[in-house]
Structure 1
């Protein structure tokens, strides 16, 4: 979801300590992000100031973009650049099917008030699964509205969510769902709130 804005400096520190992702990993991520946003290769190329051929090569794993290119992709897709880093390659039998606890991609920072882990094995598919941890007092002040269907389950803590102008206070074991409606959230408690969040189609 990442609605609080990402910390560019924190992103830079994190990726400096990560190994560069492989061309194959980047290819799948970039292709999935583009398709989820309904963008064509030509539109991506125009916005990046690159050729359609180059974008196509990146999506096929034939060309590996530089860090500057990855930052441009991240800005274009409105995701943190760290999304492209920090995930380990699963073995062949588990690739695209299983995510081990120690191999989740982490997004966001404690300073931003929202840290999320991608539970889905990749960015493809018709939905994505996230583990979202909201710090005490964290809040999305402006309502978000996007053409998605979303659902969540509160694992622990207290979590307030406003859907189409109505606030709902949720606690451990409660769940919610909405589709194409403006929403915002806050953590009113003194402890982190942990929510498993499903988004369709994916936004990361």
Structure 2
């Protein structure tokens, strides 16, 4: 089951395309320069800036890193403070206007490099094609996705896993008739960074 987030569970969503555009212009970056640094297409970045597209959490983190800000500049992500997370107590959040929902299962350890999330992917959802530094490991918990990794496309079902380097262009889509539940662990998105004054 993929429950809707209550206001108390969801991270405070601050994302708007105009904020990304404002930071990009303040940094003197073109659409092409930012899309190159963030590892996304210039067309998708243009859609995000115009409010016509919504980035996934990973892509939002890449945009934040390329712009020199923390992801919290755009969305307040809940912080797990204990090494143990109970299934009914995990902090949950979503990016504004996105149908993806996230459960944070990792803790902010001093010097820690890993981020772990359970991602709830609705029927019909297709992510943007992206690439970025870092390493990713996914484990399918429920449902099935079509996964593109470089020049290969394949289907992952519940119980299947995939380990890859994030600089290989990748994309996924829920191709089934039920929501997908996926465990994602990686050294990206980069959730830390300097925070500008707002």
TM-score, structure 1 normalization? 0.54
Q: 1:14 aligns with which of 7, 11, 18?
A: 7
**Which residue number in structure 1 is paired with residue 181 of structure 2?**
194
Q: Is the radius of gyration larger for structure 1 or structure 2?
A: 1
**Which residue number in structure 2 is paired with residue 167 of structure 1?**
153
CA contact (8 A) 2:11 2:75 kept: no
Q: 2:87 aligns with which of 101, 110, 115?
A: 101
Cα distance in 1 between the residues matched to 2:188 and 2:122: 26
Q: Find the residue that maps to 2:183 and give its secondary structure.
A: strand
Q: Alpha-carbon deviation of 1:161?
A: 1.2
Q: Deviations over 1:115-137 (max 9, x none)?
A: 11110023751111110110000
Q: Deviations over 1:55-114 (max 9, x none)?
A: xxxxxxxxxxxxxxxxxx99833454231x5x57x5xxxx3x222223322121696221
- Which sections of structure 1, spanning at least 5 residues, go unmatched? 1-10, 20-45, 48-72
Q: 1:119 aligns with which of 105, 112, 119?
A: 105
The count of residues paired between Structure 1 and Structure 2 equals 133
Higher helix share: 1
**Which residue number in structure 2 is paired with residue 129 of structure 1?**
116
Q: Alpha-carbon deviation of 1:184?
A: 0.8
- Which sections of structure 2, spanning at least 5 residues, go unmatched? 13-25, 28-63, 192-198
Cα distance in 1 between the residues matched to 2:98 and 2:109: 23
RMSD: 3.5
Cα distance in 2 between the residues matched to 1:174 and 1:167: 15
Cα distance in 2 between the residues matched to 1:200 and 1:101: 23
